[in-house]
Amino acid sequence: MFNFKPTPIGISCTYDKADERLKNTVDIHVAYAGRGILRKKICHKTVSVTEAEKAVIESIAMRLFLEHKKIIKTIMKEDGKVTLQGVIAVDLQK
């Protein structure tokens, strides 16, 4: 199919042991493309992570954005709504 080798990117954040962000949790709502028979369906899930984990996740997302600025597409609709669509390539083979 595709002929590429994955290159991992590491992102880390360092906190003091007593930092509250390591304990405080936040809920994140995620919309994502389904897998398998649900491939064309948009799935939704809410996950609970610590504030520290959220910071790492946001850093990874920003790294992807900086590398591939064209991943965000703005679609203006006739009904006055605006859709922001993000597209990245992921390896789904297991």
Contact 55, 62 (CB under 8 A): no
* Structure confidence at residue 75 (pLDDT): 83
Give the integer Cα–Cα distance in Å for 82 and 19: 39
Q: Is the pLDDT of residue 66 over 80?
A: no
Closest CA to 27 of 46, 51, 54, 52: 46
The mean per-residue pLDDT over the stretch 68-80 comes to 78
Percent of the chain with pLDDT over 90: 28
Contact 55, 21 (CB under 8 A): yes
- Partners of residue 28 on adjacent β-strands: 47
Angle at 45 between CA 50 and CA 53, to 5 degrees: 20
* Structure confidence at residue 9 (pLDDT): 67
Give the integer Cα–Cα distance in Å for 77 and 81: 5
The top-scoring range by mean pLDDT among 12-26, 50-64, 77-91 is 12-26
* Structure confidence at residue 1 (pLDDT): 47
pTM of the model: 0.64
